[in-house]
């Protein structure tokens, strides 16, 4: 039977979350990680473990059908791949940073300067878009030390918390791109593989939805129910069941993580009591 081949990072910042996403999607790997290839037990799927930089090329060549990799790497490599889904982890940005004591009047600062980066293509595109003429100096690692040792006037590098910049005496002055882990696929998959990939994507989405939502149960006096229902509309509409105590009901609904604390405050003001919030394992809507 035709199998799907998915490439993931062998080790590094994407590895744990990629494995977790597969596991939560019901995919168990037979011979564990640390190998070049692992076979899924209950889905027609092989996992290839690669360096993240190689993943776009392997997908483009058809060695892998799809893969999980940082969008920054996908953009830098420039292959024409199908971006299937943003996966919500390994979030970061590729930013321009300069020595913290330099004034920064705007992108003009970069004119005629030397900028170090491991992302020359993204940097060239950024400079072109801004109409800046600068020297692109490609280095493969430790970009953040380049200004300090006199190798460059500025850098374009990955920033997440910003602490690496601070500890190297740099300040972030502009963002070239935002990035997160993405599922990308070859553009010319045969139909059977496309169907398998859609199945996998359906599972990924159910897992992601469940992570972004909570199940909420609460007790409320009946006369407050219309207002409470407005605050927690749920997937279709909340379930309401009478309590043994007269005049009270139990309300069950689904609540999105990013509005969580606001909604809880409103519910308390509306007279809700005994609020329970429970994680959801999978969510299919």
Q: Which residues bind ligand PRT (CB under 6 A)?
A: 9, 12-14, 51-53, 70, 72-73, 90, 92, 157-164, 179
Q: Residue 98 or residue 206: which is nearer to ligand PRT going by CB?
A: 98
Q: Residue 53 or residue 227: which is nearer to Zn ion going by CB?
A: 53
Instruction: Report in angstroms the alpha-carbon separations of 126 from 4, 73, 152, 173, 208.
Output: 36, 15, 17, 13, 32
Do 149 and 142 form a contact (C-beta atoms < 8 A)? no
- How near is the Cβ of 2 to ligand PRT at its closest, in Å? 28
Q: Residue 91 or residue 252: which is nearer to ligand PRT going by CB?
A: 91
Dump the DSSP string for 224-261.
GHHHHHHH---SSS-EEEE-SSTTEEEEEEEEEGGGHH
Instruction: Report in angstroms the alpha-carbon separations of 208 from 92, 236, 256.
Output: 19, 19, 12
**Which one of the spans 45-53, 101-109, 161-169, 196-204 is the region binding Zn ion (CB under 5 A)?**
45-53
Number of shown-chain residues binding Zn ion (CB under 5 A):
2
- How near is the Cβ of 52 to Zn ion at its closest, in Å? 4
- How near is the Cβ of 263 to Zn ion at its closest, in Å? 40
**Between 49 and 88, how does the x/- string for binding to Zn ion read (CB under 5 A)?**
---xx-----------------------------------
Ramachandran category for residue 166: left, alpha or beta (phi over 0 → left; psi -120 to 50 → alpha): alpha
């Amino acid at each position: 039977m035709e199998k799907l081949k998915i490439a993931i990072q062998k080790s590094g910042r994407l590895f744990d979350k990629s494995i977790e996403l597969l596991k939560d999607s019901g995919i168990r790997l037979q011979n564990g990680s640390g190998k070049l290839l692992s076979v899924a037990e209950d889905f027609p799927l092989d996992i290839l473990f690669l360096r993240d930089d190689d993943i776009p090329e392997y997908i483009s060549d058809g060695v892998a059908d799809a893969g999980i990799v940082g969008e920054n790497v996908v953009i830098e490599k420039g292959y024409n791949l199908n971006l299937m889904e943003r996966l919500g982890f390994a979030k970061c940005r590729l930013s321009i940073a300069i020595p913290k004591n330099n004034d920064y009047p705007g992108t003009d600062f970069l004119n005629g300067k030397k900028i170090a980066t491991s992302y020359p293509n993204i940097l060239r595109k950024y400079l072109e878009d801004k109409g800046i003429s600068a020297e692109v100096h490609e280095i493969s690692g430790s970009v953040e030390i380049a200004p300090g040792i006199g190798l460059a006037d500025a850098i374009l590098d990955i920033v997440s918390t910003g602490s690496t910049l601070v500890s190297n005496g740099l300040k972030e002055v502009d963002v070239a791109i935002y990035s997160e882990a993405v599922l990308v696929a070859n553009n010319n998959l045969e139909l059977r593989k496309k169907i398998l990939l859609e199945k996998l994507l359906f599972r990924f989405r159910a897992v992601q939805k469940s992570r972004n939502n909570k199940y909420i149960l609460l007790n409320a006096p009946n006369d407050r129910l219309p207002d409470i229902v407005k605050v927690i509309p749920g997937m279709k509409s909340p379930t309401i069941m009478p309590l043994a105590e007269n005049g009270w009901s139990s309300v069950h609904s689904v609540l999105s993580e990013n509005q969580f604390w606001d909604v809880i405050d409103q519910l308390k003001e509306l007279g809700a009591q005994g609020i329970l919030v429970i994680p959801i394992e999978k969510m299919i809507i």
